[in-house]
Amino acid sequence: MEKQAKKVALITGANKGLGLEIARQLGQQGLAVVLGARQGKAEAPAAELRAQGLDARAVELDVTNAADIAALPQFLQDNYGRLDVVVNNAGVQLDEGFDVSPDTLRRTYEANVIGPYAITQALLPLLRQAPAGRIVNQSSILGSLATISAGEGGSWATPGYTSSKAALNMLTVVLAQHLAATNIKVNAAHPGWVKTDMGGENAPLDVREGAQTAVRLALLPADGPTGGYFHGTETLAW
Ligand SMILES: NC(=O)c1ccc[n+]([C@@H]2O[C@H](COP(=O)([O-])OP(=O)(O)OC[C@H]3O[C@@H](n4cnc5c(N)ncnc54)[C@H](OP(=O)(O)O)[C@@H]3O)[C@@H](O)[C@H]2O)c1
């Protein structure tokens, strides 16, 4: 298809929680939003966003499934002729305490590190054509070596989730440096502690607030930062 005028954003893990809300807010900003989710789970939320007047579409995307990822560039090319924003939001927290099995660690890395890496790699050719490509990696303050080494992780400082988000942070920095001479900006987001299935009921923030960091990074102006780690407008220590 010929390149459409409207910007296009792909959000992974967009069937619920922060991903769905990020898609909603980007849609409200006038972008066409593509909701990635596994097992057909993005269909109903995409229809919900369309009913709210937004330009939304579902795509089958298990971030650990190589065939789903390989199909993405053609899907985006056929339906929009462009891609401007990728929000690598899908993630898992599988740790049950400190004694994480190697298998759990492996599954955590598949979803939180290798998935975002593979998706970004597959979509870079399209992003390079965008006037203002933006990659947002949904990290966590628990991926901060500075925070965890200062003893501020408490009982959340378990091996799998924290180290996977630290790895995602490093991918953010390395990719941002690699793309420094291009129009593409790459940043990591900490949404805060947010009420979702992962964050639980005791979290102080709702998804509307939690989505704002990733949305800001997805819409950064040309003079905005790249290779950074943010919560809201606050820069976090790696
Ligand atoms: N909530 C918080 O306080 C908090 C804090 C810091 C960082 N984060 C990060 O924010 C992101 C979103 O989390 P959330 O709080 O919104 O949690 P959530 O409601 O549990 O949502 C997680 C999302 O990731 C998806 N997902 C997991 N594995 C996937 C896979 N293999 N393929 C495709 N999608 C997959 C889930 O899909 P299914 O429904 O199919 O499982 C779901 O859509 C995560 O990366 C998380 O680490 C959250």
CATH, residue 119: 3.40.50.720
Q: Best substitution site from 162, 198, 201, 213 to test ligand 1's pocket, by max atoms within 8 Å of Cβ? A: 198
Q: 205: Cβ below 6 Å to ligand 1?
A: no
Per the domain annotation, does 199 fall within a domain?
yes
Can you give the pLDDT at residue 69?
98
Q: 211: Cβ below 6 Å to ligand 1?
A: no
Using the atom order of ligand 1, give the atom closest to the CA of residue 63: 32
Q: Which residue has the tokens 């870079």?
A: 124
How many of the other CB atoms lie within 10 Å of CB of 174?
Answer: 12
Q: 90: Cβ below 6 Å to ligand 1?
A: yes
Per the domain annotation, does 106 fall within a domain?
no
Distance separating alpha carbons of residues 218 and 87, to the nearest angstrom: 7
Which token pair is 43?
Answer: 């269909």
Per the domain annotation, does 150 fall within a domain?
no
Q: 160: Cβ below 6 Å to ligand 1?
A: no
Domain count, the chain: 1
Ligand 1 geometric centre to CA of 17 (Å): 7
Per the domain annotation, does 105 fall within a domain?
no
Question: What does residue 28 show for φ and ψ, rounded to 5 degrees?
Answer: -65, -20
Q: In what order do the strands lie in the sheet with 85-88?
A: 56-60, 32-37, 8-11, 85-88, 134-138, 185-189, 229-231, 234-235
Per the domain annotation, does 66 fall within a domain?
yes
Model pLDDT for residues 161-204, shown as the tens digit of each residue: 999 999 999 999 999 999 999 999 999 999 999 999 999 999 99
Per the domain annotation, does 101 fall within a domain?
no
Reduce the DSSP state of residue 41 to 3 states and report it: coil
Which burial class, exposed, middle or buried, applies to 103 when counting CB atoms under 10 A from its CB (0-12, 13-18, 19+)?
exposed
Per the domain annotation, does 230 fall within a domain?
yes
Distance separating alpha carbons of residues 149 and 237, to the nearest angstrom: 11
Per the domain annotation, does 63 fall within a domain?
yes
The whole domain housing 211 covers 8-93+112-139+163-235
**Averaged pLDDT, 44-67:** 98
Ligand 1 geometric centre to CA of 48 (Å): 19
Can you give the pLDDT at residue 151?
95
Ligand 1 geometric centre to CA of 90 (Å): 5
Q: Note if 117 is an active site residue.
A: no
Q: Which one from 80, 109, 117, 161 is the annotated catalytic residue?
A: 161
Model pLDDT for residues 62-109, shown as the tens digit of each residue: 999 999 999 999 999 999 999 999 999 999 999 999 999 999 999 999
